[in-house]
Amino acid sequence: MSQNKKEINFMGVGRIAVMFSALLIIVSIASLIFKGMELGVDFTGGTVMELSYPGAVEPTEVKETLIKSGFEDVTAQHFGSVEKILLRIAPQKSQKADLKKGAVDANSQLSNNVLKTLQAKTPGITMDRVEFVGPQIGEELREQGGLAMLYALIGILIYVALRFEFRFSVGAIIALVHDVVITLGFFSITRIEFDLTVLAAILAIIGYSLNDTIVVFDRIRENFRILRKKDSQQVINSSVNMTLSRTIVTSLTTLIVLIALFMMGGESVHAFALAMIVGVVVGTYSSIYVASTSLLMMGITKEALMAPEKDEADELAEMP
């Protein structure tokens, strides 16, 4: 690293960054509204089965066998290798009529019936994994997931407002919402299944992205007190520059382990790792551009942070 780094003018391109972010957010929201999410069984209810065949198998064949036997709404795909099949079966309509009573039970027997049907045709199939989620559970999880995100945001808002100043906390939330919306948009556009682990990833991203933002804000607050001759834009720009190498190094180390998880962690954590990778990349970008730019746009000045400054002055005056 060179000793005399030139400052990069981040705030100078603030306008372009804002436009870029706005574009990403609009695309994400549009996709979320018009295409929605590919919600997993965790949220929709239904059955997912992972089967191991003794030899290579065609998903279409499996699907046909099941449809012929009277199962509805079945999708089949390869999972990891040509011998493995992932089945997704929606709650069976013929049993929807009386959900409260036998039907719930019948749906819980579904996986066993499907396995029997398939084993009758191809002996030697083994069941690796089954997930069955009743429709009402799915609904509750959807609700809880939304609430969890909301409460995390509120908790953070309060903490930042207490530690810094109200405008900082708004800036942090803008950056957070930015990251979450774009990550959700990514999942909507790519049609990658959104399940409970992805929700966990989104909440982890909230923590991570905030972590990044707070570090920058901390520096901004400090610099407002030290660099008194500079104007707000210069102070914020210097702060972003000073924390830049840290931001990049931490993102790098986090990305390294996430990529390891993505490549080696197995299918079950694939979506989690992917969501985190997207979140970390977007979060790094947003803590450099979005959070600070929004601070500047809200008109943060050193006067806003005057009070603690005065205290320091008083303390100095009292010293002998």
Which residue of 214, 236, 291, 295 would you call a contact of other proteins, by CB under 8 A? 214
Tell me which H or E stretch contains 130: strand 126-133
* Count of chain residues binding other proteins (CB under 8 A): 76
Beta pairing partners, 46? 133
Q: How far is the CB of 34 from other proteins (least distance, A)?
A: 29
Task: Kindly identify the residues of this chain, within the stretch 84-143, that bind other proteins according to CB under 8 A.
Answer: 100-101, 104-105, 108-109, 111-112, 116, 126-134, 136-137, 141
Query: Which of 27/153 has CB closer to other proteins?
Result: 153
286 and 183 Cβ atoms separated by less than 8 Å: no
Query: Which of 128/303 has CB closer to other proteins?
Result: 128
Which residue of 15, 68, 93, 163 would you call a contact of other proteins, by CB under 8 A? 163
Q: Give the SS3 label for residue 140.
A: helix
Query: Which of 14/280 has CB closer to other proteins?
Result: 280
User: 71 — phi, psi (to 5°)?
Assistant: -85, 140
Query: Which of 163/191 has CB closer to other proteins?
Result: 163
23 and 182 Cβ atoms separated by less than 8 Å: no
Task: Kindly identify the residues of this chain, within the stretch 177-196, that bind other proteins according to CB under 8 A.
Answer: 196
77 binds other proteins (CB under 8 A): no
Which tokens sit at 64? 């046909």
27 binds other proteins (CB under 8 A): no
Q: How far is the CB of 25 from other proteins (least distance, A)?
A: 22
What count of other Cβ atoms lies within 10 Å of the Cβ of residue 224? 23
Any alpha helices (H) in 122-195, and if so which ranges? 135-163, 166-190
82 binds other proteins (CB under 8 A): no
In the block, residue with structure tokens 């000045």: 301
Sequence-distant contacts of 148-157: CB under 8 A, at least 24 apart? 148/199, 148/203, 149/180, 149/202, 149/203, 149/206, 152/203, 152/206, 152/207, 153/177, 153/206, 156/206, 156/210
Which residue of 87, 181, 185, 219 would you call a contact of other proteins, by CB under 8 A? 219
Cβ-count burial 250-289 (b if 16+ within 10 Å, e if not): bbeebbeebeebbeeeeeeebbbbbbbbbbbbbbbbbbbb
Query: Which of 21/287 has CB closer to other proteins?
Result: 287
Q: How many CA atoms lie within 13 A of 272 on its CB side?
A: 16
Window of 14-22, 53-61, 264-272, 311-319 that interacts with other proteins by CB under 8 A: 264-272
Which residue of 215, 227, 281, 305 would you call a contact of other proteins, by CB under 8 A? 215
Which tokens sit at 165? 């100043």
Q: How far is the CB of 249 from other proteins (least distance, A)?
A: 5
Window of 23-31, 90-98, 185-193, 260-268 that interacts with other proteins by CB under 8 A: 260-268
Task: Kindly identify the residues of this chain, within the stretch 237-256, that bind other proteins according to CB under 8 A.
Answer: 242-243, 245-246, 249-250, 252-256
